[in-house]
Amino acid sequence: MTPASANRDITRTWTYHNATKHWEWSIRASPHYLDWSNQPMPLKIYTTIEAIPLPRDAEQTGIAALSAIAASSAATDIERIPRLEDLARVLYFSAGITKRKI
């Protein structure tokens, strides 16, 4: 089996899932609690690279969110690397979905 076809093997997926999931009886059988003082950081900090400031003023696109999600784009063979402004806009507007105070 090639690595690519192994990724599509749903049997392996279910085997892994069933071996690692929490069972109701196992949670009730042991004193399970969350150690809030020992939780991982919700973000990654890179101390060895220079920070890149992102533009803060994201321009509105004028397209409703559901219309933008539902729209299809034409396939192209040209590789397009997003500009810093494009990346900043994606991060800014996606914060409305995922934003939480840290």
Indicate the pLDDT class of residue 27, thresholds 50, 70 and 90. low
Res 10: pLDDT: 87
Query: CA–CA separation, 57 vs 40, rounded Å?
Result: 31
For residue 20, the enclosing domain spans 3-98
Task: List the structure tokens of 92.
Answer: 């800014």
User: Number of structural domains, the chain?
Assistant: 1
pLDDT in tens, 43-101: 888 899 998 888 877 778 888 878 877 877 777 778 888 888 888 888 887 876 666 66
Specify the pTM.
0.42
Across 70-100, b (16+ Cβ under 10 Å) vs e yields eeeeeeeeeeeeeeeeeebbeebeeeeeeee
